[in-house]
Amino acid sequence: MRERFVRHTRIGASAERVFRWHQRPGALERLTPPWVTMRVVERTGGIEDGVRVSLVLSFGPLQIPWTLEHRDFVKNQQFRDVQISGPFTSWSHVHRVEPDGDAGCYIEDEVEYELPGGRFGDLLGGSLMRLELERLFVYRHRILQHDMAVETAHPVDKPLKILVSGSSGLIGSALVPFLTTAGHRVVRLVRPSSRAGGDAIPWDPAAGLLNPDDVEGFDAVIHLSGESLDALRWTAGKKQRILDSRVKSTRLLCETLAKLKRPPRVLLSASAIGFYGNRGGEILSEESRGGPGWLPEVCRQWEQSTESAAQAGIRVVNMRIGVVLSPRGGLLARLLPVARLGLGGPIGTGWQFMSLITIDDLVSAIYHTLRTDSLRGPVNMVGPRAIPQRELAKTLGLVLQRPVFLRLPAFAVQALMGEVANALVLSSAHVEPRLLTESGFVFQFPDMEIGLRHLLGRT
């Protein structure tokens, strides 16, 4: 049976601005919720008539191809995507934009679809499908509303040409669509083995290879690459790769940028709140000293590797990034399977402070820092309130509607993970985003429960 779903939301921006946002590269990725695993296999253009997009949707081991074609394009008013092949018996999605004064409009999404399996398919998945559509478009309209507000706060007179390393990682894959839908051109800095298409420049930090001519003429550089800290245990080889991937790549990039005829005006280089080490309940700002231990030492060398760029007059920001929350990776992705089984709970005492930030607030904070000339040097990129680990476990259980009762003793974590446990799981760092806040940055999700509901579609 053919079903119809409609969602209608007022957006605080003109119809022309909203429609133009949808026409930019990255809009589809920006609008895809983090709980949906989707990969773009091929696309032939923008949203004009005849353009096709081939996707693969993943549900565990199940891979479902889905091909859509855009039709009925009317500039600043509407476009439609129709299923050519895929999981539905039929699918048609009309995006409409209706003006509401000079500085507002209504966005309307109308979906007509037919589930496979006839009446049996309707009985089995009808109510679930409507729920999923509701989750999807609540998320999409919230993202659109937020991005229009950011565009108002930071109007783009002239698009920036931005070089991004680490673009395929958890942060980079969220940041690049944010930048391109904001109207900027992004070029990715990739390893020679990468299969990246489109605008990409090769480099090999381990071999010290980066062609200066390739990186000439950029307005800004955002450096995010580095070996993942994720590991059950840190072997000597893993620790060396973590250090080298950060220090060598940053030094190579900065020394190359410093020698350019026209260097970028700004370099945002990743660092981490691991700089502060295990500090208990001490409130830590950008002025706080670094902590003892191997991970703080990695962060110190990482930040020191940007010195050549700063001496060349480039505005350098060392982004001390906190624990990033996204169901696509990192801490939250590891916690979700356990929490869904009702087995989440405090780790160790559970009173160790965690300085968290949602992936959405992080990419917004990076963009705010990029556009705010007064910010330079270390900048803490964490949420406005650090919380004890047991509060995160309790809030996640509340959002998922699961019990929270199982406590994992510290000795068990230490026996399993060794140094990793002490550095990342049992460590306490109460970090505050003082410079971000003082520079006028406004968090979209200052409350952890609201942030988790947004990330998991549990509104």
Mean pLDDT calculated for residue range 150-161: 94
Q: How far apart are CA 317 and CA 266, in angstroms?
A: 8
Give yes or no for residue 122 having a pLDDT over 70: no
Number of independent structural domains in the chain: 2
Give yes or no for residue 413 having a pLDDT over 90: no
For residues 130 and 185, membership in a common domain is answered with: no
For residues 166 and 70, membership in a common domain is answered with: no
What residue type is assigned to position 148 of the chain? M
Share of the chain above pLDDT 90, in %: 83
Q: Which of 96, 123, 153 is the endpoint of a domain?
A: 153
For residues 113 and 171, membership in a common domain is answered with: no
The larger pLDDT score, comparing residue 386 to residue 125, is at 386
Give yes or no for residue 196 having a pLDDT over 60: no
For residues 216 and 244, membership in a common domain is answered with: yes
- What is the pLDDT confidence band of residue 102, given thresholds at 50, 70 and 90? confident
- What is the pLDDT confidence band of residue 452, given thresholds at 50, 70 and 90? very high
For residues 424 and 390, membership in a common domain is answered with: yes
Mean pLDDT calculated for residue range 92-110: 96
Give yes or no for residue 417 having a pLDDT over 90: no
Give yes or no for residue 354 having a pLDDT over 70: yes
Give yes or no for residue 125 having a pLDDT over 90: no
Q: Are 87 and 116 in contact (CB under 8 A)?
A: yes
Mean pLDDT calculated for residue range 137-162: 95
For residues 391 and 268, membership in a common domain is answered with: yes
Please provide the average confidence, as pLDDT, over all residues in the chain. 94
pLDDT at 219: 98
3-state secondary structure 120-133: HHHHHHHHHHHHHH
- What is the pLDDT confidence band of residue 234, given thresholds at 50, 70 and 90? confident
Share of the chain above pLDDT 70, in %: 98
Mean pLDDT calculated for residue range 351-362: 97
pTM, to two decimals: 0.95
55: containing domain: 2-153
3-state secondary structure the chain: CEEEEEEEEEECCCHHHHHHHHHCCCHHHHHCCCCCEEEEEEECCCCCCCCEEEEEEEECCEEEEEEEEEEEEECCCEEEEEEEECCCCEEEEEEEEEECCCCCEEEEEEEEEECCCHHHHHHHHHHHHHHHHHHHHHHHHHHHHHHHHHHHHCCCCCCCEEEEECCCCHHHHHHHHHHHHCCCEEEEEECCCCCCCCCEEECEHHHCECCHHHHCCCCEEEECCCCCCCCCCCCHHHHHHHHHHHHHHHHHHHHHHHCCCCCCCEEEEEEEHHHHCCCCCCEECCCCCCCCCHHHHHHHHHHHCCHHHHHCCCEEEEEEECEEEECCEHHHHHHHHHHHCCCCCCECCCCCEECEEEHHHHHHHHHHHHHCCCCCEEEEECCCCCEEHHHHHHHHHHHHCCCCCCCECHHHHHHHHCHHHHHHHCCCCEECCHHHHHCCCCCCCCCHHHHHHHHHCCC
The larger pLDDT score, comparing residue 264 to residue 411, is at 264
For residues 146 and 165, membership in a common domain is answered with: no
What residue type is assigned to position 190 of the chain? V
For residues 11 and 30, membership in a common domain is answered with: yes
Cβ-proximal residues to 204 (8 Å cutoff; 6+ apart), any chain: 191, 192, 210
Mean pLDDT calculated for residue range 148-153: 94
Spacing of C-alpha 294 from chain mean position = 27
For residues 329 and 432, membership in a common domain is answered with: yes
State which H helix or E strand residue 62 sits in. strand 62-74
For the chain, the straight-line distance linking the first and the last C-alpha, in angstroms and rounded, comes to: 28
pLDDT tens-digit map of 384-405: 999 999 999 999 999 999 998 8
Q: Are 44 and 35 in contact (CB under 8 A)?
A: no
Q: Are 191 and 203 in contact (CB under 8 A)?
A: yes
- What is the pLDDT confidence band of residue 61, given thresholds at 50, 70 and 90? confident
Mean pLDDT calculated for residue range 6-14: 96
For residues 236 and 89, membership in a common domain is answered with: no
Give yes or no for residue 231 having a pLDDT over 90: no
pLDDT tens-digit map of 247-285: 999 999 999 999 999 999 999 999 999 999 999 999 999
Q: Which of 153, 181, 200 is the endpoint of a domain?
A: 153
Give yes or no for residue 230 having a pLDDT over 90: no
For residues 96 and 213, membership in a common domain is answered with: no
Q: Which of 113, 129, 153 is the endpoint of a domain?
A: 153
pLDDT at 194: 63
Give yes or no for residue 120 having a pLDDT over 90: no
Give yes or no for residue 442 having a pLDDT over 60: yes
- Identify the residue whose tokens are 């600043």: 76
> Any idea what the CATH number is for the domain that residue 28 is in?
3.30.530.20
For residues 101 and 213, membership in a common domain is answered with: no
pLDDT at 5: 96
pLDDT at 121: 63
pLDDT at 454: 97
What residue type is assigned to position 2 of the chain? R
pLDDT at 423: 84
> Any idea what the CATH number is for the domain that residue 319 is in?
3.40.50.720
For residue 126, the number of C-alpha atoms closer than 13 Å in the C-beta half-sphere is 12
